[in-house]
Amino acid sequence: MSTSNVRQLEPQALWNNFEDLNAVPRPSKKEEKVIAFIENFAQGLNLDYTVDKVGNVIIRKPATPGMENRRPVVMQAHLDMVHQKNGDTDFDFDTQGIQSYVEGDWVKAKGTTLGADNGMGVAAILTVLQSQDIAHPALEALFTIDEESGMTGAHNLQPGLLKGEILMNLDTEDDDELSVGCAGGIDININWTYAQQELEGNYTGMELSVRGLFGGHSGMDIIYGRGNANKIMNRLLWGMGELHGARIHSIDGGGLRNAIPRESTAVLAVPVDHVDDVKQHWDELNKTLQSEFATTDPKLHISYKECPAPDKVMAAEQQAQLINAIQACHDGIKRMSPDVDDLVETSNNIARVEVQHGEAHIQCLTRSDRESGKMDMAYSVSSPFSLIGATIELSGSYPGWKLDPNSPMLGIMKNLYMEMFEEEPRVIACHAGLECGLLGKPYPNLEMISFGPTIRHPHSPDEKVSIPSVQKFWKYLKEALVRVPEKA
């Protein structure tokens, strides 16, 4: 279906802003085009705006008549989106706009991530800014950059730019949730060099692939126990050198730091007289893995094919060291919260494994709602690689956002939700890394709450947003702006 179907959805103004936004390439760390798009939007409405030194955009809109004495509000969303595509999809994220379409009650994208995370939040804010009939207090629209790959925008937001007293973060992904807390995170970058050797003897090349995993958001979806392509590939490679003389030429697994890896490919050299044994080993392990992941990843597919033997391979002793280090590295949930039901406290995602030309690069993202738990997990992840002489860099650390159950705005939002929808919202803390924890550092008195429409499978090509949920979220957001209390 064409994107025109999306533009015809209600509320049309919001969906048209979403489609206009999705026509603009906006990968993390390459937000120049979308920043210009937001600037042009503000200029077209003759609204005052600021672009700070890192690229965050702040647009200011005065209160509507009769709302001047209400507490000023910051509406916040991030401009960048996760770029993931299916292996058979031909798409250039740097130059092409997302191709969205309607399927039943959902909006999806053709073979790529949709960008509803956080494009729906951005589009909602744009729609409020351009509206002539939505009542609201004085508004500051804060559009941050690079949320998905380091929270650079939130990290570098300076004190004194914002005057608002209440922040509405529109980056929650279930329409019945009010988020008032989130996990902190830290990136672990592992770099290692190894010796390459030329093959001696009769070898054939083997290309081994892991495909069809569900993937998803490494914070929100880690609780489901989905397969990690990097860990599964490592299980397929573990012991192959010692048992069958197989030697690694290259590994290419995973992608973005905050996405559970869906695919991995390795190229190996296998002694000709061991090829049948290697194939049998992989066939047996394939059956075991498909049984293990039948519930979470029913489309898991492991395949292999012969290819020309590579010229160079990893030295045998170092191959064993690397495979053992990855095997020892924790992936997934480490601890559930003892304080909040069904909330992950601490986890790690082995997001990227890249091995070629004498260098290995491994990237992990560790999350925890406790600073001590976050750092303990980071040190645990780093340790196996330190033992083999790798260089470890910890970077991009951001704090969690501590839940405040006594927030006055939370009480207003809970009562409004019950009034409008005749049920209680779920007040939660989430395991994802919302920007609120960082935004609270330069603005410690800012009262914050996060909510949004229902989005499924963010950070994967299966991402989709619920059409009825967007309509529900939009009505709730408009009424929430009306209910903002008066200034003290």
Q: Which tens digits make up the pLDDT trace of 325-358?
A: 999 999 999 999 988 888 999 999 999 999 999 9
Q: What is the pLDDT of residue 401?
A: 86
Tens-place pLDDT, residues 183-193: 999 999 999 99
**SS3 category, 464:** strand
pLDDT of residue 309: 96
Report pLDDT for 256: 85
* Dist. CA 65–CA 43, nearest whole Å: 22
Q: pLDDT over 90 for what percent of the chain?
A: 88
| Burial of residue 305 (number of CB atoms within 10 Å: 0-12, 13-18, 19+) | exposed
Say whether pLDDT at 399 is over 90: no
Q: How many CB atoms lie within 10 A of CB 201?
A: 10
Burial class (CB in 10 A: 0-12, 13-18, 19+), 416: middle
CA distance 330 to 228: 11
Are 4-183+400-482 and 186-398 in the same CATH fold? no
Domain spans, the chain: 4-183+400-482, 186-398
Q: What pLDDT score was predicted for residue 405? A: 74
pLDDT in tens, 464-482: 999 999 999 999 999 999 9
Active site residues: 80, 147
Q: Distance between CA 21 and CA 81 in Å, rounded?
A: 11
92-99 long-range contacts (CB < 8 A, ≥24 apart) are 93/25, 93/27, 94/25, 94/27, 94/30, 95/25, 96/25, 97/22, 97/23, 97/24, 97/25, 98/22, 98/23, 99/3
pLDDT at residue 4, rounded to an integer: 58
Q: Which helix (H) or strand (E) holds 192?
A: strand 184-193
Residue 175's nearest CA partner among 127, 124, 225, 215 is 124
| CATH, domain range 186-398 | 3.30.70.360
Average pLDDT of the chain is 95
Q: Classify residue 276 as exposed, middle or buried by CB count within 10 Å of its CB (0-12, 13-18, 19+).
A: exposed
pLDDT at 251: 98
Average pLDDT over residues 260-275: 97
- Residue 348: name the closest of 387, 324, 375 by CA: 375
Q: So what's the pLDDT on residue 181?
A: 87
pLDDT given at position 125: 98
CA distances from 428 to 301, 367, 449 (A): 36, 17, 10
For position 2, what pLDDT does the model report? Answer: 44
Per-residue pLDDT, 147: 93
pLDDT band for 260, please (50, 70, 90 cuts): very high
pLDDT, mean of residues 63-81: 98
CATH class entry, domain 4-183+400-482: alpha beta
Q: What is the mean pLDDT of residues 119-146?
A: 98
pLDDT value of residue 1: 37
